[in-house]
Structures are given as C-alpha cells and as structure tokens.
Amino acid sequence: MSAETPDVLVVGAGPAGLAAADAARRAGARVVLLDAAGDAGGQYWRHLPASRPAAAERVLHHGWDRFAALRGQEVLTDAQVWLAERHDDRPPTLHVLVGPADGSDRVRRTFAPTTLVLATGAYERTLPFPGWDLPGVFTAGAAQALAKAERIAVGRRVVVAGAGPFLLPVAASLVRTGAQVLGVLEANGWRRLARAWSARPAELLSTRHKAGELAGYVRDLARHRIPYRTGTAVVAAHGTDRVTSVTVARLDADWAPVMGSERRVPADAVCVSHGFVPRTELAVSAGCRLTRDGGVRTDENGLTSVPGVYAAGEITGIGGADLALAEGVVAGLAAAAAADPAGGGISAGQRRDRTVNQRFAARLEAAHGIRPGWVGWLADDTVICRCEEVTAGDLRAGAAATGSRGLRSLKLSTRAGLGVCQGRVCGRTVEDLLNRHTGGLLDAGRTETRPLAAFVRLGELAAGADKEEPA
Amino acid sequence: MKVVVVGAGIVGAAIARELAMAGVSVVVLDRSASAGGTSAAGEGNLLVSDKGPGAELSLALRSLTLWRSLLPEVADTFPSIEYETKGGLVVATTDAGAAALRAFADLQRTAGVSAAEVDGLDYEPDLNSAHTAAIFYPQDAQVQPAIATEALLAVARRHGASVRQGVEVLGPLRGGDRLTGVATSGGDVSGDHVVVAAGPWSGEVARRLGVELPVRPRRGTILVTTRMRQRIRHKVYDADYVGAVGSDDAALQTSSVVESTAAGTVLIGSSRERRGFDERIEARVLSAVAAKALVLFPFLAGVAVMRAYGGFRPFVPDHLPVIGPDPRLPGLWHATGHEGAGIVLSTATGELLGDLLLGRAPRVPAEAFAVDRPTLRPHLEPSPDQ
Ligand SMILES: Cc1cc2nc3c(=O)[nH]c(=O)nc-3n(C[C@H](O)[C@H](O)[C@H](O)COP(=O)(O)OP(=O)(O)OC[C@H]3O[C@@H](n4cnc5c(N)ncnc54)[C@H](O)[C@@H]3O)c2cc1C
Ligand SMILES: Cc1cc2nc3c(=O)[nH]c(=O)nc-3n(C[C@H](O)[C@H](O)[C@H](O)COP(=O)(O)OP(=O)(O)OC[C@H]3O[C@@H](n4cnc5c(N)ncnc54)[C@H](O)[C@@H]3O)c2cc1C
C-alpha cells in the first residue's frame, strides 16, 4: 500500500484540528484533515445546547462565527486512525480506515505526512461511586448528547454532579428538555474555587468572555431556581432496576465525604462528570512524551518531543474550546512552516492568545482538579471496571494476593481495564486505586498505551497483508 | 544456603518456589514489577505438540506433569491460573504440509507424545473445511501466564522467599574468583549462588556479572479480539508453526495459533522476528498474523480486534534453554533461553535447577541444557558486533 504524503496531516476535526488545518492551509501547505466522526466539529459541536439560538451562541461563545466558518473546510470524515507506527526522527506512519464504522467496506489508507498535528481531544472522566452502574446514571456528556441530538430528557428529577464548569451547560440543556434539575453539585469547596479564580485577576481580563460565558450559565441556573452547591457530591445512587434516589454528602477540601452529612434525595437520574482525560493513544504510539497530568508535552509552537509531530487542543490538557482554537492556530502554522519553511510565521497576537488561554486552563485545573479523598465514598462491592465487572474489593484483593507492584500484572490478574473500552473509562481510576494498594506501581502510566486506537476487523487487517511494505 | 534469583518472570518464580520449598533462603530481585516482562507479554500455551523428540520435549513432558501436580498449591488462595487441558489441534492446509505433519506426529509418538489424526471438523466445526490434515494432541494445555507467575511467587513467599521489586542488578560482588552476590540499585545483595533468570535480558545481566551469554530477543505480536460466544474449542494452529519456531531466519515469520481464553476473547498469535528490543507494533505484522488466522477460521473475518500486544522471546542460537551452573564463574547459574516455550518449561526448569544446585539426581538429561554444550560454546565469546 503506498502511503499518501501531504505536507500536513491533521487528526481530529474538533476546534483544535479545524483551526490547525485552516491555519496551515492559509500558509500554503497541502493539508489533509480527518476525523473518525461522521461530521466535523468535535466534542464542542456535539455538546452545544441545541435549542439555543445562534444569536445567543454568538454572545456566549467568543469566536463563534469563526468556529462556524472553520467547519466549512474540507474534512475527510468517517476516517478512523487505528494505528500510528513510530519512527522517532519523523512523524509516524498513520493507518486509517475510511467509511462508516459499522459498514463492511471500509477502505484502508496510509499516510506518511511531512508534519503531523494531533488534535484528538479528550475523554470524559467519571469517578465511580456505589450504584453508578445503575440505569439512570449518565455521564454528563452522554446526557448532553441525548438532550441535544434526540431531545430526550434523561429523567424527570435529575441531579448534576461532579467537578468543573462543564456541569453548567449540561444542566442548562437538561432544563430545556423539560427535566427538573434538582441541583448542580460541585465537589470543590468555595474556598478552592475562590482561590483559583480570584488570584491575579488581571490575567482573567483577557479571557473576560470566558468568565462571561460561565456567568451566563450561572444566571441561567438562577433563573430556573437551580441551586449550585459547592463542596458537595453524589456519593451513592440507589434503586433496583434503575435509580430511584441518591445520597448526597458534603466533602472536605480533599473530597473526603464528611461523616454525618449524608442525606437521601429522591431522583430518577444522575449526570456525573469529574473532568477529562486527554486522548493520547496515537501520541503515545508516535513516541510523544506526556506531562505529569497525562497530556501531551509541547513547546511554545505546539511541537511534541517527536520531530515533526505537533499537538493542539485537549490532547495537551483541558482548557475548553477557545484554548483549543488558539493552540490549533499556532500548531497549524508551525507545522506548515516546518513542512515548507517558505510559508509565513506565527504572529505575536496568535502566540499571546495561546498563552492567555493556557493560563485560564491552569486555573481550571487548580479550581476543579480531582482530589484524592474521593475513594472514601467507595464500597468494596462498587464496580470499578464495568466492562469486566471488577470491584474495588477485587482490586484490593488482587494486590494483596499477588504482592505485585505491576499494573500490567495486576490488570491481568484482576481483568480490570481489559474489556472493550480498554480502560478508557476506568483506566485512571484503576491506576489510582492500585497505586494505593501496592504502595506505588512500578509501571504507572501504562494505561495510556493502546497500540490500537480503535477496533479493526480481522478481515480488514488481513486485506492489507500482501500490499503492506515496511514504511 | 542463600540464593539470589535475578528476574521475577515465570522462570525466576518457578525456581524461587522450588528452592524455597526445599528450605533454601531465597531472594528474588526484579528491576521492574513481578510478571512485568515476557511472562506477561505472550500466551500461556503449554504445548508438546510443537516439539520433536529431544531434550526440549523431555523437559516439556516433565513440565506438564509438574503443572498438574502443583495445581492444589495455588487452588484456593489465588485468582485462577486458568489451567485448562483443552488439547491442541494442528492443521495442515496443503498436501505437502499434510505429509510433513503426519511424519512429524509419527516421530513424536516414539517419544511419548499422544497424537491422533482426526476429522478436524469434528473437533472444530468452524474450521476451514479446505484443510488437508488435522492431528489432535490431547496433552496440550494452557494457563494464564501472568497469574501463573504470580501464583508461583506467592507459593515461594509462603515458604519464606522474599521478592524485591524495583531493584535492578548492576554488577557482581566477588570473593576471589567466586561470585558472592550482586550489586543492585537497592544496595548489595549477597548469596551463595546467583541464578540469572532475566528472560531476554539475561545476556545483558550476564555481561554485567562478567560473562558472555548469547541471549537475544525475538519479537512476537499477538492480537486480542473482543469477547464472543465460544466457537474455538481447542488450541488450533497451522502446521507451519513448527517450522517457524525452529527457524534461524531473522526476518518476519508468522504462523497462526488461535485459542479462546477463559474470559471469552480469542488470542491470535503470532509473529517471530529478530529486531532487537524494538517495541513498535506495525501494520504489516498485524496484517500477516490476521491473514494466517483467517486461513484456519474464515468466520473470524468479521470479528473485531481490540488490542495488539507483544513481547520478546529469550532466544539462543541453538534453540535450547540454558539451565545450570556457569563453569566460567563459580556461584553463577543460568536459567534462560526458553524462547517461545518458557511458560510451559518453567516448572521443570525450576526442578532441574534445584536438582543441580542441591545435588539431587536430575529427572531430565541435564547435559543438553548445559552452558558449555558444544552447540553453544562457540557463542560464549563476545561477538565482534557487540
Ligand atoms: C458536555 C460538554 C460540554 C462542553 N461545553 C463547553 C462550553 O460550553 N464551552 C467550552 O469552551 N467548551 C466546552 N466543552 C469542551 C469543548 O468541547 C472542548 O474544549 C473542545 O471540543 C476541545 O477541542 P479539541 O479539538 O481539542 O477536541 P475534540 O473537540 O474532542 O475533537 C477531537 C476530535 O478528534 C477525533 N479523533 C480522536 N481520535 C481519533 C482517531 N484515532 N482517528 C480519527 N479521529 C479521531 C474525534 O472524533 C473528535 O472529533 C464541553 C465539553 C463537553 C464534553
Ligand atoms: C508473543 C509471545 C508468545 C509466547 N507464547 C508462549 C506460549 O504460548 N507458551 C509458552 O510456554 N511460552 C510462550 N512465550 C514465551 C514465554 O513468554 C517466555 O519464554 C517466558 O515468559 C520467559 O520467562 P522469563 O522468566 O525467562 O522472562 P521474563 O518474564 O522476561 O522475566 C525476566 C525478568 O527479569 C527482569 N530483569 C531484567 N533485567 C534485570 C536486571 N538487570 N535486574 C533485575 N531484574 C531484571 C525483568 O524485569 C523481567 O521481569 C511467548 C512469548 C512471546 C513474546
């Protein structure tokens, strides 16, 4: 199979990838932009409240017009990158299947680009709690998608809980489906929130629209008399076939439930989200180094540790759509310039936009990042890995029985993370828990290693057998 | 007596268990975590079907006996090691392959292997009906190799062994011309004997201790499917496998080994390629492995693969494990070079090493595995390319 060789290949057509491809195209590069989804726009597009009129979008979302325009460029959709073959001194060779994932006639294509921009976004992270596997418990993203695409309410009496500003738009769209939102529960206490958001206020000036966006959602909540409670969490969901009530508790600064503060609240749905995990499998396969938080490490141009490989958007850390756009522009220009030095450079304004938005992202993490006390709400029979039905007790027992300090070994002996989601849902949590039980894993971080970025049918693999040549 | 075992893979674990049960004071050192190397990066086939008469087959037959006898030790206290005697079905797909397979089975029978020509479809209804011969090997079994490794270590611990993880062996401790222990990242560890069971890294550890040992990695890659209703009942492999195992070719070779696991996934192996410790997973390898599997089971074409993984088989030039004392450095012992059969061979390897170290009569011919056997001797000098 002969590889296609664009100047710049952009993987992911969310805000970051759209901005990167557009910037690189304007700089004169031959660009291919692709996305596994059937339509461009990424998470951001999928999760925007549907019924909000475009005029309001324009007010609430800085850069809305630009985003809408970016979506008009040429995108190769239904294009799943399933393997990145590392070369260390240059971008990896990317193997792509093009066609609807459930169809039987996907076409194999191979790309060996001069430079590569990875803009694969992030997964939602949900911390487990007793009862979180009951029907009626949704991730905030799933609830949002249902509310938006299908206009389906996930329930009548809904609690929204977790951490981070993304709880707010979720609550807002639930309200629009006619659900009664009983409250938005933020795990972090007001002290932490205030400390993170009020430090160096001058910095926030330049992302004023961001603060405005959040304030807009808070006003929305107030108008519908939806309480926003800090330092509070759903620590259990109850019911036999589905959720009928939840236990709400106050948390201390480390997210440990405060004894005696629990109360039962009747509810038929819970939407939870505790943040996002960068989707780094392609970057890891390509050889890119990660930061301590698990994002891809980049320099001021978005360049990763691998020559010719750039990263932009939530794959580098969690910061919202504006940051993704700003990072995308810089990475796209840098990638184009590296592929063909005759092109233009990056302006001071474009760089500033990126820096300012990164500071905003750092505040997000400082205000809303997960704290270790949450394990206090787990019970021994709380399921941690849902694909393989591995409980918190199983993990503890596996660590005790083997004495192993290896994630690889413990995953194999407990089966945690070995199922169809390949640890995308539970991986971080499994690692956190095993870290405690073993006194420190010796191979931590392995969760992010997934050589196959997506399922591939054996027939599709075999079809390349005669055509493949070493790249 | 105190023995230092370097490596907490399945071979080190089996040795630790054997020695600890014999009353020896054992410390196992691993630079990483237990079961973090090759023993967690392959499959757990316990095969006699792929081995012709000779020393390795003797070791494998003895190993199968030992695997059965140690089951009660690990039965109650552990996640299951998933021991299953499901038997292997070897399938030829060409006429020439059928003749070769029958001749090989005849030879094996003379050495105590049960092998019966069968109608493949009776055993595997979904097998490609175009195959030309099928031989069933009832002795073939399987375990889950990482759990088996941990289980052996747990038995060793129960008999007083200690397992130190995150401790890397850096160099020798010497007393006169004798090895008296090892210098490690966690301080000096002394012992009357040091056993190197560091899998594909054994050559590097041996060199650090002052001797040359020609152990090199031979890469293998495996595909894991999503769970499915069990449609593959035995270990099924194509007859080419036997050729690939014994081959000296460094280039990519594949042969198909297809098996269901207790969890309901299907493992599809595997490739063999010598390319150093290069961990990259490549499409051309995955494609070749997949294509071979479809020859055996065409229905797999629509089944999704969710993961690919691989490891490095510890390979020595004459394809036999190295088990025994190193005549060049008293106090140093080796137990390595098991290539693609270290899981099955671990139990008898532990026993043989124990026999030699404790002066018991070996139950298998030990000379064949000696460090200075004639076929290995030329490789014990540093080679110019290193
Ligand atoms: C519920 C919810 C509400 C939100 N609300 C807001 C909000 O109000 N304001 C705000 O600023 N932000 C909001 N966000 C966050 C915003 O969506 C993200 O910041 C933004 O989408 C990140 O952009 P990105 O380009 O990095 O990644 P994404 O938008 O996630 O895009 C990544 C793209 O990469 C593709 N991809 C990944 N892997 C592969 C592969 N192997 N092959 C091919 N394609 C691949 C994916 O299909 C995806 O389309 C919200 C997020 C959620 C989940
Ligand atoms: C793809 C594949 C499929 C396979 N399938 C089968 C099969 O079906 N059946 C079968 O019987 N065999 C199979 N094998 C072979 C089998 O896995 C190996 O032979 C066996 O695991 C080797 O075990 P070991 O204990 O020697 O090595 P390892 O498990 O690699 O253990 C060696 C240990 O030494 C440690 N170490 C290295 N250097 C140092 C140092 N300096 N200091 C301290 N510790 C150190 C390492 O961290 C490691 O934990 C397969 C192998 C592969 C790769």
Higher pLDDT, A469 or B298: B298
Domain stops at, among B259, B287, B315: B315
For chain A, give the percent of residues with pLDDT over 70: 89
**How much is the pLDDT for A274?**
94
**How much is the pLDDT for B95?**
87
Shared domain check, B204 and B134: no
Q: What distance in Å separates the CA atoms of residue B239 and residue B339, rounded to the nearest whole number?
A: 19
User: Which tokens go with A467?
Assistant: 């055509």
Whether B120 has a pLDDT exceeding 50, the answer reads: yes
Nearest CA-CA partner of B223 in B279, B290, B142, B300: B290
**How much is the pLDDT for A50?**
47
The pLDDT-based confidence of A33 (bands split at 50, 70, 90) is: very high
The pLDDT-based confidence of A149 (bands split at 50, 70, 90) is: low
**How much is the pLDDT for B241?**
64
B313 lines ligand 2 (CB under 6 A): yes
Residue in chain B closest to A469 (alpha carbons) equals B284
**How much is the pLDDT for A465?**
67
The pLDDT-based confidence of B249 (bands split at 50, 70, 90) is: low
- Mean pLDDT for the stretch of residues B17-28: 98
Q: Is residue B101 part of a domain?
A: yes
Q: What distance in Å separates the CA atoms of residue A233 and residue A128, rounded to the nearest whole number?
A: 12
Q: Is residue B199 part of a domain?
A: yes
Shared domain check, B326 and B285: no
Give the side-chain half-sphere CA count within 13 A for B261: 24
Domain stops at, among B288, B315, B342: B315
- Say if residues B303 and A104 touch (Cβ distance below 8 Å): no
- Mean pLDDT for the stretch of residues B340-353: 97
**How much is the pLDDT for A52?**
46
Whether A252 has a pLDDT exceeding 70, the answer reads: yes
Report the complex ipTM.
0.91
Whether B161 has a pLDDT exceeding 90, the answer reads: yes
What is the nearest CA distance from B12 to chain A, expressed in angstroms? 14
Whether A468 has a pLDDT exceeding 60, the answer reads: no
User: Which tokens go with B242?
Assistant: 């036997």
Q: How far is CA B158 from CA A403, B145, B162, B191, B308, in A?
A: 12, 20, 9, 20, 35
Shared domain check, B297 and B280: yes
- Domain assignment of residue B109, given as a range: 88-138+217-315
Shared domain check, B305 and B231: yes
Give the max Cα distance, chain A: 67
Contact A443 B32 (CB under 8 A): yes
Which three-class secondary structure string do you get for chain A? CCCECCCEEEECCCHHHHHHHHHHHHCCCCEEEECCCCCCCHHHHHHCCCCCCHHHHHHHCCCHHHHHHHCCCCCECCEEEEEEECCCCCCCEEEEEECCCCCCCCEEEEECCCEEEECCCEEECCCCCCCCCCCCEEEHHHHHHHHHHHCCCCCCEEEEEECCCCHHHHHHHHHHCCCEEEEEEECCCHHHHHHHHHCCHHHHHCCHHHHHHHHHHHHHHHHCCCCEEECEEEEEEECCCCCCEEEEEEECCCCCECCCCCEEEECCEEEEECCEEECCHHHHHHCCCECCCCCECCCCCCECCCCCEEECHHHHCCCHHHHHHHHHHHHHHHHHHHHCCCCCCCCHHHHHHHHHHHHHHHHHHHHHCCCHHHHHHCCCCCEEECCCCEEHHHHHHHHHHHCCCCHHHHHHHHCCCCCCCCCCCCHHHHHHHHHHHHCCCCCCCHHHCCCCCCCEEHHHHHCCCCCCCCC
The pLDDT-based confidence of A469 (bands split at 50, 70, 90) is: very low
**How much is the pLDDT for A207?**
58
Ligand 1 atom 30: residue of nearest CA: A121
Q: Residue A251's beta-bridge partner residues?
A: A257
Which three-class secondary structure string do you get for chain B? CEEEEECCCHHHHHHHHHHHHCCCEEEEEECCCCCCCHHHCCCCEECCCCCCCCHHHHHHHHHHHHHHHHHHHHHCCCCCCCCECCCEEEEECCHHHHHHHHHHHHHHHCCCCCCEECCHHHHCCCCCCCCCEEEEECCCEECCHHHHHHHHHHHHHHCCCEEEECCCEEEEEEECCEEEEEEECCEEEECCEEEECCHHHHHHHHHHHCCCCCCEEEEEEEEEECCCCCCCCCEEEECHHHHHHHCCCCCCEEEEEEEECCCCCEEEEEEEECCCCCCCCCHHHHHHHHHHHHHHCHHHHHCEEEEEEEEEEEECCCCCCEEEECCCCCCEEEEECCHHHHHHHHHHHHHHHHHHHHCCCCCCCCHHHCCCCCCCHHHCCCCCCC
Mind listing the pLDDT tens digit for each residue in A62-74?
A: 566 777 788 889 9
Rg of chain A, C-alpha, whole Å: 22
Whether A158 has a pLDDT exceeding 50, the answer reads: yes
Find the CATH number of the domain harbouring B167: 3.50.50.60
Nearest CA-CA partner of B17 in B59, B8, B338: B8
Residue whose token pair is 């594949």? B254
Q: Is residue B384 part of a domain?
A: no
What is the nearest CA distance from A410 to chain B, expressed in angstroms? 9
Choose from A178-182, A291-295, B117-121 the range with maximum mean pLDDT.
B117-121
Strands of the sheet with B178-184, listed across from one edge: B169-175, B178-184, B187-190
B203 lines ligand 2 (CB under 6 A): no
Shared domain check, B12 and B50: yes
What is the nearest CA distance from A465 to chain B, expressed in angstroms? 5
Angle at A392 between CA A245 and CA A370, to 5 degrees: 75
User: Which tokens go with A69?
Assistant: 């325009």
Whether B62 has a pLDDT exceeding 60, the answer reads: yes
Give the list of residues 6+ apart from residue B330 with CB closer than 8 angstroms, or none: B177, B178, B179
- Say if residues A384 and A437 touch (Cβ distance below 8 Å): no
- Say if residues A414 and A434 touch (Cβ distance below 8 Å): no
Residue in chain A closest to B254 (alpha carbons) equals A465
Shared domain check, B189 and B56: yes
Atom in ligand 2 nearest the alpha carbon of residue B336: 26
Whether A60 has a pLDDT exceeding 80, the answer reads: no
- Mean pLDDT for the stretch of residues B278-284: 90
Q: What distance in Å separates the CA atoms of residue A85 and residue A80, rounded to the nearest whole number?
A: 15
Q: Is residue B225 part of a domain?
A: yes
Q: Is residue B82 part of a domain?
A: no
The pLDDT-based confidence of B248 (bands split at 50, 70, 90) is: low
A324 lines ligand 1 (CB under 6 A): yes
Centroid of chain to Cα A65 = 24
Q: What distance in Å separates the CA atoms of residue B337 and residue B369, rounded to the nearest whole number?
A: 10
Whether A141 has a pLDDT exceeding 70, the answer reads: yes
What is the nearest CA distance from A402 to chain B, expressed in angstroms? 6
- Mean pLDDT for the stretch of residues A323-335: 94
Shared domain check, B178 and B114: no
Strands of the sheet with B162-165, listed across from one edge: B162-165, B25-30, B2-6, B193-196, B332-336, B322-325
Number of domains in chain B: 2
Domain stops at, among B315, B342, B366: B315
Q: How far is CA A435 from CA A191, A276, A400, A406, A439, in A?
A: 28, 20, 12, 9, 6
Phi-psi bin for B36: left (phi > 0), alpha (psi -120 to 50), beta? Answer: alpha
Tell me which of B73, B80, B306, B309 to substitute to probe the interface with A (most A C-beta atoms closer than 10 Å): B306
Facing A455 at nearest CB: one of B163, B287, B304? B304
Find the CATH number of the domain harbouring B95: 3.30.9.10
- Say if residues A151 and A50 touch (Cβ distance below 8 Å): yes
Q: Is residue B174 part of a domain?
A: yes
Nearest CA-CA partner of A45 in A31, A57, A59, A33: A57
- Say if residues B192 and B207 touch (Cβ distance below 8 Å): no
Mean residue pLDDT of chain A comes to 88
Shared domain check, B192 and B151: yes
Contact B308 A452 (CB under 8 A): yes
Shared domain check, B188 and B307: no
**How much is the pLDDT for B368?**
97
**How much is the pLDDT for B68?**
96
Contacts 24+ apart (CB under 8 A), B102-109: B102/B133, B102/B135, B104/B52, B104/B239, B104/B242, B105/B135, B107/B52, B107/B53, B108/B48, B108/B49, B108/B51, B108/B52, B108/B53, B108/B57
Whether A270 has a pLDDT exceeding 50, the answer reads: yes
For chain B, give the percent of residues with pLDDT over 90: 83
Residue in chain B closest to A402 (alpha carbons) equals B150
**How much is the pLDDT for B70?**
94
Facing A461 at nearest CB: one of B36, B77, B290? B290
Angle at B40 between CA B37 and CA B44, to 5 degrees: 130
Shared domain check, B279 and B228: yes
Mean residue pLDDT of chain B comes to 93
Whether A53 has a pLDDT exceeding 50, the answer reads: no
Whether A151 has a pLDDT exceeding 70, the answer reads: no
Q: Is residue B168 part of a domain?
A: yes
Contact A409 B146 (CB under 8 A): yes
The pLDDT-based confidence of B104 (bands split at 50, 70, 90) is: very high
- Give me the amino acid identity at A222: A
**How much is the pLDDT for A131?**
97
Shared domain check, B284 and B268: yes
Shared domain check, B332 and B310: no
**How much is the pLDDT for A208?**
55
- Say if residues B172 and B56 touch (Cβ distance below 8 Å): no
Mutate which of B45, B86, B202, B313 for ligand 2? The one with the most ligand atoms within 8 Å of its CB, which is B313
pTM of the model: 0.92
Contact A470 B284 (CB under 8 A): yes
Whether A348 has a pLDDT exceeding 60, the answer reads: yes
The gap between the terminal CA atoms of chain B, to the nearest Å, is 36
Q: Which residues of A touch B304 (CB under 8 A)?
A: 455-458
